Amino acid sequence: MNEILKKIKEIKQETLAKVTNSIQNITDYSSQEYINLLKEKDNLEKYLKYYEDYEKTYKDIEDAKELIENEKDYEMKKFYQEEIERLTNKLEKIEHELWKMLIGESEEDNKNVIIEIRAGTGGEEAALFAADLFRMYSKFADKMKFKIEILNTNYTDLGGIKEISFLVSGKNAYRTFKYESGTHRVQRVPITEASGRIHTSTATVIVLPEMEEKEVVIKDDEIEMETFKAGGPGGQNVNKNECAIRIRHLPTGIVVTCADERSLHQNKMKALKILRAKIAQLEREKQEEELRKQRRQQVKTGDRSEKIRTYNFPQNRVTDHRINLTIQNLESILEGNLEQIIEELQKMEILEKIEEIKQSVK
């Protein structure tokens, strides 16, 4: 029997007793505190019920092992052996569910996601690579039945992307894309390279869960707004009116620009959407920095300054450095077939969370 799970069960039992006592002392049954306690009690009871089944199954296996040792009849031995195999499979499934309940699901995982791609080192080639990444994510989102809405773009004359922000909407959008945050590196011969030399360029991807207005409140006196005329690729004038907007958040210094829409109001709404997500991300980073002082940093999602993945054209490979995964099918990945990489990163996150739980109860 897993001793870690046994200790966690004892902790859950103690917590349940405290929660039950707190519920009995509440008189306002419509209060948020009462609702939260009931939810916590339900989750604790569900976990303990699963653990009860876990203990019973474990005992049944031990009993079957004892019977098989004393059994002389071949057919009965075979029966007990099959029963042990069945119960062992059942035990593994229950244990998997227990860990799953302990890990839980982040509230952010179900949110829509705002993704920013910015050309890094490498000039025009970096911008072309950023455009490749946007195309890759667009195709992947389409496969996953997600919806994409462009929030802001800044193209180069050759069709590259200096910077693009877009919203991906759909169930578990953030959970799916959160691992893409970090520095992506490309190694290939640029179309601008006459001598055929391989260049290394980068693009940075930032992944932010979308925040509702009620989750991140931005007061009017906390922002400065500036309007200007929107321009297109190559300096073309898209709109003679000042419909583009630049918003500066005074408390944090965050600046957001939005110029894709022909309406000032629409650009303002999109800019505020990005700003809310960035403010929330800044707060998360502060909290994570505090946690890092107390425990080691988990891999999970890539830090925006961390090189997370390399796309090597001459060798036809993509390597994710966080999990040491190499796929020898670059074209397929760029066509949006990211499922294998995402699944492996999700597995890594689960294993790290389990290890963290184990360390916390030792």
Q: What is the mean pLDDT of residues 257-271?
A: 86
pLDDT score for 339? 95
- Residues of the chain with pLDDT > 90, as a percent, come to 51
pTM: 0.69
User: Please, is 104 exposed, middle or buried when counting C-beta atoms within 10 Å of its C-beta (0-12, 13-18, 19+)?
Assistant: exposed
Q: From CA 154, how far away is CA 227, in angstroms rounded?
A: 17
| pLDDT per residue as tens digits for the range 39-75 | 999 999 999 999 999 999 999 999 999 999 888 888 9
Which tokens in the block code for residue 236? 């073309």
Q: Among 357, 351, 339, 337, which Cα is nearest to 300's?
A: 351
| Coil/strand/helix, residue 311 | strand
Cα 256 to chain center, whole Å?
23
Phi first, then psi: what are they for 302, rounded to 5°? -75, 135
User: Where exactly are the structural domains of the chain?
Assistant: 3-103, 107-351
- 239: pLDDT strictly greater than 90: no
Contact 16, 48 (CB under 8 A): yes
Lowest mean pLDDT among 82-91, 123-132, 352-361: 352-361
Phi first, then psi: what are they for 317, rounded to 5°? -135, 155
Contact 181, 301 (CB under 8 A): yes
Contact 162, 126 (CB under 8 A): no
**How many distinct helices (H) and strands (E) make up the chain?**
8, 11
Q: From CA 177, how far away is CA 306, in angstroms rounded?
A: 16
| pLDDT per residue as tens digits for the range 341-354 | 999 998 888 888 88
Contact 65, 77 (CB under 8 A): no
Lowest mean pLDDT among 20-24, 242-246, 274-278, 339-343: 242-246
Residue 183 contacts by C-beta under 8 Å, 6 or more apart in sequence? 120, 202, 203, 204, 205, 302, 304, 305, 306, 307, 308
Phi first, then psi: what are they for 180, rounded to 5°? -80, -5
- 107-351: which CATH topology? Alpha-Beta Plaits (3.30.70)
Q: From CA 92, how far away is CA 175, in angstroms rounded?
A: 25
Report the largest interatomic distance among the alpha carbons of the chain, rounded to a whole angstrom: 94
Contact 47, 104 (CB under 8 A): no
Q: From CA 248, how far away is CA 251, in angstroms rounded?
A: 9
Q: What is the mean pLDDT of residues 128-132?
A: 96
Q: Among 9, 12, 66, which Cα is nearest to 40's?
A: 12
